[in-house]
Amino acid sequence: MADIINVSDCGPGTSFKVGEDIFSSLKIDHNKTAMRGMIVKIKCKNLRTGSIAERTFNGDEKVEKVFLNKRSMTYTYDDGDFMHFMDSETFEDYGIPKERLEWEKNFINEEASVTITFYENEILGVELPAKVTLTIVDTDDNAIAGDTVNKATKDAILETGLKIKVPMFVKNNTKVIVRTDTGEYDSRA
């Protein structure tokens, strides 16, 4: 049995379904004027496509509240088409098509722990930690720090293939901490 709620109750963090789309509310605004009924604007993320948009509803509209299941999983291997994750509790294997993980695969190395979000049996997405530790596999160790006033940087390639800018003092085989929201160098590990 589905829980039906008033759209005005979809505060930040609430997951709801409209038609076949599943959304997570990021921000909600209520607008009530004397001349007409309440209008509810919700900035929300479509959990199937990843797009963020603002949707407008009448204040008396109802939506179906959905309950998402989040499971901690460990990355196990890549078979070329799918990245495979193992459930930490049941040891079940889940394959996610690589094209759905274009951004996330830049931060997933062997034995990486991630949180996978499910709606019923459908995988909606992979949540990464805010920062991950990765190893630099290629950078110019002989780079000369010429302009140290403006925080000189150089290119480096991580073990996942992501190319980032790092400070001049960072060498090959150094473990660095990288932000998963921007893909930028944070610090040495």
Per-residue pLDDT of the chain (189 residues; tens, 9 = 90+): 468 999 989 889 899 999 889 999 999 998 887 777 889 999 998 888 878 899 999 888 999 999 999 999 999 999 989 999 999 889 999 999 888 888 899 999 888 899 999 998 888 888 889 999 999 999 887 756 555 566 788 999 999 999 999 998 889 999 999 999 899 999 988
Residue 3 has what pLDDT? 87
| Domain range summary for the chain, segments of one domain joined by + | 3-65, 69-127, 131-188
Going through the chain in order, the beta strands assigned E by DSSP cover 3-6, 15-18, 21-31, 39-46, 52-58, 62-65, 69-78, 82-87, 93-97, 113-119, 122-127, 131-139, 153-158, 163-167, 175-179, 185-188
The pLDDT value recorded for residue 145 is: 55
pLDDT of the residue at 162? 93
Among the CATH numbers 2.30.30.30, 2.40.30.20, 2.60.200.20, 2.60.120.370, which is that of 3-65?
A: 2.30.30.30
- Look at residue 56 in the predicted model and tell me its pLDDT: 92
Q: What pLDDT sits at residue 108? A: 92
Identify the architecture of domain 69-127 in CATH: Beta Barrel (2.40)
CATH fourth-level superfamily of 131-188: Nucleic acid-binding proteins (2.40.50.140)
Cβ pair 64, 2 in contact under 8 A: yes
Q: Could you tell me the pTM of the whole model?
A: 0.75
